[in-house]
Amino acid sequence: MMQSLMFEVGADKLAKLRTTKKIVSVNEISAPYFAVQILALKKAPQSSSFFKNIDQANEYDCADGYVRYTVGAFSSAAEARAEISRIKSLGYTECFVVDLRSYRLNGSSGTGNAGFSPDGNTVYTIQLAAYRYPVYVSEFEEFDNVMEFYLSDRIYRYTVGEYVGQEAVNELSKVKRAGYPQAHLVPIEKYLPYQIE
C-alpha cells in the first residue's frame, strides 16, 4: 500500500498527454521566411494526434483569429514549392507555400533581442521552447533541471536556470549557440505560478 502511494506521488501527471510530436508555438517571425502552410484553424486541436504524419510543425496565433500551422523552413519560395508534393502525399492536400512575413501575430516573445539590458533586480529563466502539447523533458537532454510551465494561453513552455543581470545574457548566448536560436529570457516570476511539478 505504501509503495503504491509513493508511486502515485512521483507519477507524471501529464504522461497520457506527452508526445514526441513538436508543435512549436512561434511568437516572432524570423528568417528563413518561407514555409508550407498545412492548416488554418479557428481553435487549436486538443490532441497532438490531430497532426497525422507530421512530427514537427510551427503554430502561429494570428491577429485575424486563425491559428496557422506550417512545416519546413526555406530560404526561398522555390525551395518550399519543391516540398509541396511530398507534403500533399502526407494528407495535407490543401497545403501551399507561405511567406511568413505576411502573418500578423498576436502577442510577442520575451527578451531575446540583441542589445537587451537586463534589470539587475530581476531573476530570469531561459525559455528553450514553447509547444502546444507537452513533450518529454528528456528532449532537452543537454540541460539539467528543465522546468515545465503551462500558462493560461494553453501553451507548454520549457525553461532552464535562474539568472540575474549580465549572467542571464551570457547564459542565453550559450544556450543559443547550443542549438536553441529562438531561446529568450523571461522574468521567472511571470511563469512560477504556472509551474508543473
Over the stretch 81-132, which tens digit does the pLDDT of each residue have? 999 999 999 999 999 999 988 888 886 544 544 556 788 889 999 999 989 8
Asked if 71 contacts 24 with a C-beta cutoff of 8 angstroms, the reply is no
pLDDT of amino acid 22 = 83
Pairing relationship of beta strands 195-196 and 147-150 according to DSSP bridges = antiparallel
Give the mean pLDDT of 173-194: 90
Tell me which long-range contacts 107-115 makes (C-beta under 8 A, separation of at least 24).
Answer: 107/27, 107/61, 107/153, 108/27, 108/28, 109/27, 109/28, 109/182, 109/184, 110/184, 110/185, 110/186, 111/184, 111/185, 111/186, 112/28, 112/172, 112/182, 112/183, 112/184, 112/185
Give the mean pLDDT of 184-192: 91
Cα gap 172→143, rounded to integer Å = 13
| Mean pLDDT of the chain, nearest integer | 85
Higher pLDDT, 135 or 10: 135
Predicted confidence (pLDDT) per residue in 125-167, tens digit: 999 998 988 998 888 999 988 999 998 888 899 999 999 988 9
Higher pLDDT, 1 or 62: 62
If pLDDT is split at 50, 70 and 90, which confidence band does 4 have? very low
Q: Is residue 47's pLDDT more than 70?
A: yes
Cα gap 82→92, rounded to integer Å = 15
Instruction: Report pTM.
Output: 0.68
Give the mean pLDDT of 36-53: 88
